[in-house]
């Protein structure tokens, strides 16, 4: 069984994601409310880890491409490395462009989701770095298969989807988001085209959220005017 996927995000009131563009909090409100409440609310879910796309995971990937010292057998099966009891940091990196150098993203164990087209040398490099990996089909875009493996092979029960709009939109499009946890910061971006919570790159007539409805579970007003909205994603009555 695949993990429960909770999309956990913080945005301005116009749904934008670039924190450094937002208007500042009103006088007397601490500027650290964004990160403080984001982490506090995330902890409520007691998740086994988090998911991001390649661009976000770049901040944690400190390695460089290299020729591995050896090439283990059976590279083409999911590789479950030693988590040492840590949570997981799941990277969606279909083409295997990231080089890690270690298995740590912060204090969490890296699991990379890749396509079957990556080379054996790249897989051997992941082995040397202690990074776990699994295959999401030939091109690395079969998210349903990836989540099934994370649940069945890795034993993951709950994950927080904390990506940018592109990866969030990809999960939305294929119906893999079970809940949405959104912290709304009392500020504005205001510029058209700035990345937003969901940013599926489809055709103009596509509706990535088609067939899905949101049922409100919780609303909380937090310090400084932040608001937490928690929804369950359900099948639309009309679908």
Q: Is the pLDDT of residue 239 over 70?
A: no
Given this model, what pLDDT does residue 196 score?
Answer: 96
Q: Is the pLDDT of residue 118 over 70?
A: yes
Q: What is the mean pLDDT of the segment spanning 14-36?
A: 92
- What percentage of the chain carries pLDDT values higher than 90? 90
Model confidence band, residue 142 (pLDDT cutoffs 50, 70, 90): very high
Given this model, what pLDDT does residue 32 score?
Answer: 86
CB neighbour list of residue 13: distance below 8 Å, 6 or more residues apart: 184, 185, 186, 187, 188
Q: What is the pTM of this model?
A: 0.95
What gap in Å lies between CA 167 and CA 140, rounded to an integer?
A: 13
Given this model, what pLDDT does residue 28 score?
Answer: 87
Q: Is the pLDDT of residue 222 over 80?
A: yes
């Amino acid at each position: 069984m695949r993990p429960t996927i909770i999309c956990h995000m913080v945005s301005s009131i116009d749904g934008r994601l670039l924190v450094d563009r937002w208007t500042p909090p009103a006088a007397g409100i601490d500027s650290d409310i964004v990160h403080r409440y984001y982490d506090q609310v995330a902890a409520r879910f007691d998740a086994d880890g988090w998911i991001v796309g390649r661009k976000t995971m770049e901040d944690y990937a400190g390695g460089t491409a290299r020729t591995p010292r050896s090439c283990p057998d059976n590279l083409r099966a999911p590789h479950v490395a030693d988590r040492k009891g840590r949570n997981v940091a799941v990277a969606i990196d279909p083409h295997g462009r990231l080089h890690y150098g270690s298995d740590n993203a912060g204090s969490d164990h890296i699991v990379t989701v890749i396509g079957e087209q990556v080379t054996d040398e790249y897989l051997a490099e992941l082995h040397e770095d202690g990074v776990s990996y699994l295959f999401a089909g030939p091109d690395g875009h079969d998210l349903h298969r990836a989540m099934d493996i994370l649940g069945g092979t890795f034993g993951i029960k709950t994950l927080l989807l904390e990506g940018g709009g592109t990866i969030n939109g990809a999960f939305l499009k294929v119906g893999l988001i079970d809940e949405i946890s959104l912290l709304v910061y009392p500020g504005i971006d205001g510029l058209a085209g700035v990345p937003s919570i969901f940013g599926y790159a489809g055709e103009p007539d596509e509706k990535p959220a088609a067939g899905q409805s949101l049922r409100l579970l919780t609303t909380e007003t937090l310090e400084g005017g932040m608001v937490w909205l928690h929804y369950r994603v359900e099948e639309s009555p009309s679908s």
